[in-house]
Each structure stands twice: as structure tokens, then as C-alpha cells.
Amino acid sequence: MSSDTAKPWAGRFTQATDAFVEAFTASVDFDQRLAPYDIQGSLAHARMLHKVGVLTEAECKSIVDGLEAIAVEIERGDFFWSVELEDVHMNIEARLTDRIGIAGKKLHTGRSRNDQVATDVRLYLRAEIDAIVAELDRLRQALLDLAEREADTIMPGFTHLQVAQPVTFGHHMMAWFEMLCRDRERLLDCRKRVNVMPLGAAALAGTPYPLDRDYTAELLGFERPSYNSLDAVSDRDFAIEFTAAASLIAVHLSRFSEELVLWTSAQFAFIDLPDRFCTGSSIMPQKKNPDVPELVRGKTGRVVGHLMSLIVLMKSQPLAYNKDNQEDKEPLFDTVDTIKNCLRAFADMMPHVQPKRERMYEAAKQGFATATDLADYLVRKGVAFRDAHEIVGKAVRLGVESSRDLAEISLAELQAISPSIGEDVYGVLTLEGSVAARDILGGTAPNQVRAAIARARG
């Protein structure tokens, strides 16, 4: 092999890599997105090597200037990525050596591609978590605004997809908000474990060079260096943990999507979505399809699939680094892209959702949504709850047989079922009375919804 085409590890080998194997084992097609973080890590490593006396000041300056120039090339799209050089790290190192000569070869002192890639992925994921949290915050803000606007809007609440009790649309939006708050907490907690620096672990055993790992960690904004070199280069728990958190975000967005899809149907007709977030049919001119929620719902499968992929990837690996770990990046990258795009779509769409208040109100009057209120009324009159439950069941049966809501049944008919019922019963059988009665922390009463919004806004 000539010096122009030899691999950086070619000294041990007498044959060039098979062309298919070269393409099969290369990762540069997808890991080049790590380039900014690879350069960031190399800049810190070079400055640390100078601090501990491994590089001269001139060598360090040459490396730093060269890396910064390469960063500009990559940003402009002028950088040539070579499959022969396998990955993002060797492409950048080879280009650096081309630019500055022998000093470029000294940059790899005290590190391996094993700790280098682990560091790059952590830097990348830390930045992406911050970007995802920003999109989560945009969506959370949209839900708060929508909840505040619709704090008094009454709609049916469901269990088993059957009308259960009346709630407010604002209360429903705040339920989604709570899910996203947990998602945010999980991401920030995950970030703590992402923010540990493997650089300096080298291949697996550390290095004999007097590296100042605390200094490098400080330059890169890591909380601390890793404490065990074997674990540092082989750990992908942080990627699995992120993908697990992302899977829960996807599941939550899928649940939101399912409700939006139902609510836009003619059978529900609870809301209207802006035209720009919907599409039509090529054959049915009347159609307005909620494609954004449907696609978000569909993308949940790929995110959860990536979680399974990463778990299975790691389940049988011995210490320390193995080539298997090259397979961590595509699932991780796609998870990041998918979640970020889904959150962006929802954050853009939700401020423009238009509730159909009258339709929701009429739907809440169906299905005897205030039956529980009647039971609670009887309990306050001294009737045991189980007896009250039976009384209300009889009243509901009367309503079903006569196609009337509870509030439409006459007082005489209700008193025939239970003499404990008085004229004041109709105050609790209205939808407004029902939601107002749930005036307890976490309840659906409009003033409780507004209090929840105020707490969230802090």
C-alpha cells in the first residue's frame, strides 16, 4: 500500500482492505454530522496537550488554526469526504495533516478513536437535547395559551372512549402539558449523564501521557471526566436513556395526535385544524385530512424501534469497545431528527387549533355526563354512595328509555326514584354546575385551570 492510500493503522497489514469491506465498515456517510463536535473536541485536546507540554506553542497554534479552517470548509460544503478514510475522525485528521504537515499527526497523542467518538457523540447529543427542550418549551407555551383561552369551554371527558364527565377544553390541554413537563424533566435528567467526558480514556486503558482531563472537560463544558476508562469507551447507556425519553415523547405526541384525528372527524367535529397543516384527497374533493397528526402518530413506531435497536445492540457486548457500536449512530441520529421535527410540527400547529365550542358543549350533554354529579348530590343528602349509585343508574335507565338527558327528567319522576331528590337537583345536573363543582387542586373547574396555568407560568 502506498503512503497516499494507506490507512492510519496500516502498519500491521500486508493487504489493502477489500473494496466491499471498506464500504461495509465505513461510517463517514452518516457520522460526518459529528464534524463540528469532532473539531470542538480536537481543539480542546490540542490546547490541553500544549498545557501539559506534549505540544509546543507553535504546534498547538498550527493545529488550532488548521482545525478552524477545516471547520469553515465543512460549513461551506467544500470538504471532500473519503470512504477510504472510514469515518469523520480520520477524514478530519487526514485533512489537517495535509494542511499543516507533521504537527497534524501529533494531535492524536493520548487518545484513540474509541474515546474520540464517544466524546463526539456526547457533545452532539448534549446540544441536541438542548434543542429538543427548546421545542418542547415552544409546545408547552402553545398549550398554556390555548388552555387559558379555553378555560371555560366545556367538552365531554371520556373513559373507554365513552362519555364520562364534563371537563373543560383548557383542562384537557393542561393534561397534555403535564405529560410534556415530565418529558422535559426526563431529558434534563438524562443530560446530566450525557455530560460526562470520555476523552482521555484512549483505547480502553487510559494513556501514559500526563493528560489534564479536568482541564479538557472544563474547556468542553462537561461536568466531569469519566472515572473508568473501560466503561468510558464502551458505554452507550446515555444514548439508550435518551432514546427511551424520546420514545415517551413520541408516545405522548401519538396520543395527542389520536385525539386530534378523532376530534377533526365529522363524527366528533370538536376542532378545526388550519389548512396549512392538512392535505386533501386526489379523488374525494371534500376531504381535509389531518396529515400532520397522523404522520406524527406513525413516526412513533420508528422511535420506539430505535430504542429496541440500541438495547439489543448493547445486550451482549463484552468490555470494552466493539465495532458493533458503530451501529449506535443511525438510530440515535434518526431519533433526534424525528422527535425534533414532530415537536416543531406540533409547536407550530397547536396555537392555531380552533375549538368548536357549541359542538363540544352539545356532545357533553350526551351520554349522561352529569350522572356522577347526581350521585354526589345524593351522598350530600345522606344517602350511602352505593345506594346513590343504584338510584342514579335507575334515573339513567329512564333517560335512555325516554331519550332524555338527566336534566330533562321531571322532578316528580326523579323523586319517584328517590325521595331524597329536591328541587335544587337541577343546579348540579347542568354542565356548568358539574365542572364548577370540581373546584379542587387538579380539578377541571375553570378557576382551577387558570390557577394551574399561573403555576406553570411561574
Catalytically annotated residues: 160, 281
Q: Please state, in angstroms and as integers, the Cα–Cα distance from residue 226 to each residue in 29, 124, 197, 405, following that order.
A: 29, 17, 5, 66
Q: Please state, in angstroms and as integers, the Cα–Cα distance from residue 291 to each residue in 10, 180, 266, 267, following that order.
A: 52, 22, 16, 18
Rg (CA), the chain: 31
Q: What is the C-alpha separation between 402 and 368, in angstroms, rounded?
A: 13
Which amino acid belongs to residue 381? K
H, E, C per residue of 252-302? HHHHHHHHHHHHHCCCCCCEECCHHHCECCCCCCCCCECHHHHHHHHHHHH
Say which residue the cell 429496541 belongs to: 308
Alpha helices, DSSP H only, in 150-268?
Answer: 169-194, 213-220, 229-234, 237-264
Inter-axis angle of helices 113-149 and 169-194, to 10 degrees? 160
Q: What is the C-alpha separation between 122 and 236, in angstroms, rounded?
A: 10
| Short-list 294, 303, 302, CA closest to 349 | 294
C-alpha cell at 177: 402539558
| Short-list 183, 86, 187, CA closest to 127 | 187
